[in-house]
Amino acid sequence: MRMLKLILALAAAGVILGQVGTENREASKSRNQMLPHFFNSAPAQVLVRACGDCHSNHTEWPWYSYVVPLSWWITRDVNEGRRKLDFSGWETYSLEQRRDKLDSMCGVISTGRMPPRSYIAMHREAKLTDAEKKAVCDWIKEETIGASDNVSKNPMVLGP
């Protein structure tokens, strides 16, 4: 009985402590139900589905993301992920940056570095099939090649 009480107390403390640092989550979620239209095409939607939790303001925070120590780890991943690549902030990137980021997206999915394996374990829907990887890389190639001769004619290439 004592052991059970101790476990329950620890679990409760974990849930309470897990809230620390999560205050901004709701704000950043509602800010962005809309991503730039650039992400509307079917291949881009694959990226939104598999990468959006960490690389946009679209993050869905599961219940366990509010429990320490997972809450710290997940918050850090999301902050770091968004800093490197943020679909929601796409319009703040220069054309060069967009092109670089697109190229590296194809790179990381081809090598399987992203989405991180620990994330796929909890989100089966984030696993990309070979056909999806190919569709994403083909789309990226088309967009980025198109961009090099279109920049002067159309400054809106590559979004937002």
- Closest to ligand HEC by CB, 18 vs 59, is 59
C-alpha distances (whole Å) from 13 to each of 5, 17, 62, 105, 126 are 12, 6, 18, 39, 31
Q: How far is the CB of 73 from ligand HEC (least distance, A)?
A: 10
Q: Which residues bind ligand HEC (CB under 6 A)?
A: 47, 50-51, 53-55, 77, 80-81, 84-85, 104-105, 108-109, 114-116, 119, 126
- Closest to ligand HEC by CB, 65 vs 157, is 65
Q: How far is the CB of 140 from ligand HEC (least distance, A)?
A: 10
- Closest to ligand HEC by CB, 17 vs 77, is 77
Q: How far is the CB of 85 from ligand HEC (least distance, A)?
A: 5
Q: How far is the CB of 157 from ligand HEC (least distance, A)?
A: 20
